[in-house]
Amino acid sequence: MAEQINNIVLILCAINFIRIIYTDIKYRQISNISNLTALGLIILCSYIFDFSLNITAAIIILFAGIILFYLGFIGGADVKLAVALSLAITQSELFLWLFYTSIVGALQALYTVFLAKITKNQSQIQKGVAYGVAIIFGFLMIIITRII
């Protein structure tokens, strides 16, 4: 029974991540409901899989995210998503997660510029980069490295 609950929670996480990625790419929006769902699932996972929530990492990401938001580099919903996911990241994994996220975000930005140049459609650049994709990808890379 416990294994079935674990699997259901992991499936719910996957569904929420897919929804976040889809809406971020299509509309450049991540809803508060999606972010609250991610937060709730992370808290639930900490109970089920017996790991401590990393409040320190969440505070660091929150303050860094606020600065990046006010500088116009990242959206508020991206900050909220990063804070929620950072609760499941250990101190030793934090910079690796930020590295993975930065690499994917940079690749997305390069792709956006490349696409705008090829199609001669500058609206791609004006829409910005869907950083939720990079945030989730970085998080999943950390989870995969834990498993391997």
Position 31 pLDDT exceeds 80: yes
Name the packing angle between helices 76-86 and 91-119 (round to 10°): 150
Contact (Cβ atoms closer than 8 angstroms) between residue 30 and residue 20: yes
- Report residue 84's pLDDT band, with 50, 70 and 90 as the boundaries: very high
H or E element that contains 88: none
Task: Compute the average pLDDT of residues 74-82.
Answer: 97
Contact (Cβ atoms closer than 8 angstroms) between residue 20 and residue 38: yes
Distances (CA, A) of 13 to 10, 64, 89, 133: 5, 25, 15, 14
Q: How far apart are CA 84 and CA 80, in angstroms?
A: 6
The pTM assigned to this predicted structure is 0.94
Q: How many domains does the chain have?
A: 1
Q: Residues 95-129: pLDDT tens digits? A: 999 999 999 999 999 998 998 889 888 887 788 89
Domain with 57, as residue range(s), is 2-147
Q: What DSSP character marks residue 74?
A: S
Over pLDDT 70: what percentage of the chain? Answer: 100
Q: What is the mean pLDDT of the chain?
A: 94
